[in-house]
Structure 1
Amino acid sequence: MASRRVRRSAASLLICVPLLVTGCASRAHEAGKAKSPKANGRGSASAPVVMFLGDSYTVGEKRVQPETTYAAATARLLGWQVVQGGRSGTGFVNPSSKHTPFDKLFEDQLGWRPPPALLVVSGGHNDGKYPAGKVSDAARTLLQKIRSRWPKTRIVLIGPMWGSDHPSTGALAVRDGLRTVASQLKIPFIDPFTEKWITGDRDKGTGNAARYIKPDGTHPTLDGHRYLATRLAEDLRKAGLAHPAGSS
């Protein structure tokens, strides 16, 4: 019985692949069109632990739970055990109403854990109202801290995500700054703007935004999260990071 309790306790710290299968599958009928990403069948014993740090795209918001975001869906596709950190409305500088920018969220939610094989940092959407240089400095400080804390952990930086193909001027400046920081630190950078993850405009009924973005014009639908997961998984495969080795 003790061993069972230990296993249950450990499982509660991770949103593991079997849970993700159940969580996403339960929403498949609601989504209607998009198919849920299928788990790749890799045994859990060999599944790498991957962490995400981000905003509402990563951890969810109204009617989108953490286990149904693109982060969890990517874990299903690639056979990871995933831990999702972050908070809606936050960024590298923007603290949201809870006064918790990414640096504090990393310390509170992730930094005390054993090092993962891979950490995906995804943000910048909520930082567009701040000077791009300030955002870049905060991102650099955070990424250097992560590298110092977990020297064997691979890191990927994802630029801002947007609900249409015409992001704000501030978001573009933040994207440019983050790309420069990633280059300086030799960290792979994924750019949803340049890669046109989202096209068109939901309000105009154009591009894939009509299907993948909610009426708020910002956040992905359940279909949208599954689609974003396929784009991220494709980029990670190209970067050789789909199956990161353990960091211990």
Structure 2
Amino acid sequence: MRIVTVTAAVVLAVLAGLLVVKTRTDDHAAAEVRPVSITAADTRPMLGVIGDSFAAGTALGGAGGQGFPMMVAERVGWRWGTTAIGGTGYVAQLPGTLPYDGGQVDRMVAARPDVLVVEGSQNDGRADVAAVGRAATALYAHLRRALPRTRIVVVGPVASNSAQAAALGSVDRAVGDAARAAGLPYVDAIAEGWFTDAQAALIGEDHIHPTWTGHQRIADLLGADLTRLGVLPPARV
């Protein structure tokens, strides 16, 4: 396990907003990410998550930093942190936000996570697929240069139902192809059936974002994938 020494300057920088950000209002819901506790005495490994409102959490589930990033990390006794911003993606952005590379990478690099998950994004469903692929390729290259010791795993767009899964197929392929070309493990949430019509009760009233129980399902499935890939230990009993 890599031991991280966090100086007072880094602690102040994180508290000032290098890592944890308040998510912007997206088309459907908003949330605030809970600040991450990073102290010189806390040398546990860290799980970081770059992503959209699924990772940030919303009022329908996962608000206040209680979503799947926290669940996955706490089950294995790790620290966690997310820079996720609702409405964003590899190229997608809402007014006042930036896509992943421009809006989240610097904050995540400052945190130096041991394992980094890049999730999404459903928001790229209306974007040019070729542009998504190019942006994903550039993002992974940036992350590998900036975080050479971090184990990076890419999670494809998370669909909310079966129809959306079909509509996101081209984005899923573009992101997956870019991840594999970069030599990064790819978790295909659509192929694994994280949310189909059979899990409609786990999606909120907006028919897009997961409920609290939906976040538990993501944590179960993603945690198992990360353990299978050898980047996380098995969950504690």
Q: Which band: TM-score by shorter chain? A: 0.7 to 0.9
Q: C-alpha offsets along residues 95-140 of structure 1, whole Å, 9 cap, x if unaligned?
A: 11223110112245223x1422111100121001111111010011
Q: Match of 1:79?
A: 77
Q: Match of 1:165?
A: 162
SS at match of 2:162: coil
> 5+ residue gaps in structure 1?
1-5, 16-43, 201-206
SS at match of 1:145: helix
Question: Taking structure 1 as reference, are residues 53 and 66 closer, same or farther at Cα in structure 2, changes over 3 Å only?
Answer: farther
2:79 alignment partner AA = Q
Between the aligned residues of both structures, percent identity stands at: 29
Measure how far apart 1:169 and its partner are.
Answer: 5.0
Greater mean alpha carbon deviation, residues 65-74 or residues 82-91? 65-74
Q: Match of 2:200?
A: 209
> What pairs with 1:120-199 in structure 2 (closer than 5 Å)?
120-167=117-164, 170-199=167-196
The normalised TM-score by structure 1 is 0.74
The normalised TM-score by structure 2 is 0.78
1:72 alignment partner AA = M
Q: C-alpha offsets along residues 23-61 of structure 1, whole Å, 9 cap, x if unaligned?
A: xxxxxxxxxxxxxxxxxxxxx855211210000000122
Measure how far apart 1:185 and its partner are.
Answer: 0.8
Measure how far apart 1:199 and its partner are.
Answer: 2.2
Q: Match of 2:93?
A: 95
Q: Match of 1:58?
A: 55
1:160 alignment partner AA = P
Provide the C-alpha distance between the structure 1 equivalents of 2:145 and 2:115, rounded to a whole number of angstroms: 14
Measure how far apart 1:66 and its partner are.
Answer: 4.2
Greater mean alpha carbon deviation, residues 100-109 or residues 220-229? 100-109
Q: Match of 1:29?
A: none
Judge conservation of contact 2:165–2:190 (CA < 8 Å) in 1: no
1:88 alignment partner AA = G
After TM superposition, where is structure 1 displaced by more than 3 Å over at least 4 residues in a row?
Answer: 9-15
Q: Match of 1:241?
A: 231
Judge conservation of contact 1:51–1:120 (CA < 8 Å) in 2: yes
Q: Match of 2:4?
A: none
1:213 alignment partner AA = I
Residue 220 (1) aligns with residue 217 (2):
no
Judge conservation of contact 1:54–1:102 (CA < 8 Å) in 2: yes
Provide the C-alpha distance between the structure 1 equivalents of 2:105 and 2:89, rounded to a whole number of angstroms: 14
Aligned residue pair count: 201
Provide the C-alpha distance between the structure 2 equivalents of 1:129 and 1:169, rounded to a whole number of angstroms: 13
> 5+ residue gaps in structure 2?
1-7, 21-40
1:118 to 115, 119, 124: 115
